[in-house]
Amino acid sequence: MSEWSLSKLLANLHRDIQTRLETVRESYGHPGTKGAASEAVWLELLRTYLPQRYRAETAHVVDSKGNFSQQIDMVVFDRQYSPLIFHYEGQIIIPAESVYAVFEAKQSIDAGQVEYAQKKIASVRRLHRTSLPIPHAGGTYPPKPLPHIFGGLLAFESEWKPALGTALVDAFKSDEDSRLDLGCVAAHGTFACDVDGCYTITPGGKPATAFLLELIARLQASATVPMIDIRAYAQWLAD
């Protein structure tokens, strides 16, 4: 009989993330250092376990009209079909068309952090995105409709009591540009929003692993990003 256990593998993945986030919280005194270390834990999770067609980086997002997002802790983007606009000395600029999802990472979640994450996510969703017709052997497919960019918040723990109660759901209320679609509070549970804007809170379990699998499922359903009009970006070469 096999000694492998899928249940234990998935549980240990969550335990590793939670332990590392807890170690960051207890070990680092400087808020900036603590925040950067927490972000690094989540980034490594995405870089390790997302399929290779996706990349995850801290980045700014830009559109073909020259508008920039705020800096985003984690941008999940296409690297198979989309170019980077700029990559130098650790600074990455990603075209809006190639973005699948954006996440903010915090040590602890509260109303202020939710609002902060919502503003960051909205700064990406409000960017202009192009979508060209897609050539194929038999002709041309019409331009792909622009997919929803997933947004969320990742944290170690919650400042609310109870940690994932009605106060958390009330803080999520926002317009479509700012909506948090899914997230994880590693010490307490996960949350997810459906297409109708209704939230499901799942306390306990193995939150980090549950979040990862839900994100992958949503990325699968989103399929491929639209075909970018790279000439729309080339117009800026005239300046």
Express each pLDDT in 23-77 by its tens digit: 998 888 777 788 889 999 999 999 999 999 999 999 999 999 999 999 999 999 9
- Specify the CATH architecture of the domain 6-234: 3-Layer(aba) Sandwich (3.40)
In sequence order, which ranges of 106-188 are alpha helices (DSSP H)?
A: 111-125, 166-171
pLDDT number for residue 239: 63
Q: Which parts of 17-85 are beta strand (E)? A: 54-62, 72-78
Q: How far apart are CA 179 and CA 173, in angstroms?
A: 8
Active site residues: 73, 104, 106
Average pLDDT score over the chain: 92
Torsions phi, psi of 49, nearest 5? -110, -15
For residue 100, with 0-12 CB atoms within 10 Å meaning exposed, 13-18 middle and 19 or more buried, which class applies? buried
pLDDT number for residue 149: 97
What does the block give as tokens for 224?
A: 């491929």
Question: Any residues with CB less than 8 A from the CB of 164 and at least 6 apart, and which?
Answer: 158, 185, 188, 189, 191, 201, 203
Interval 184-213: pLDDT, tens: 999 999 999 998 888 999 998 999 999 999
What does the block give as tokens for 203?
A: 């306390």
143 pLDDT higher than 60: yes
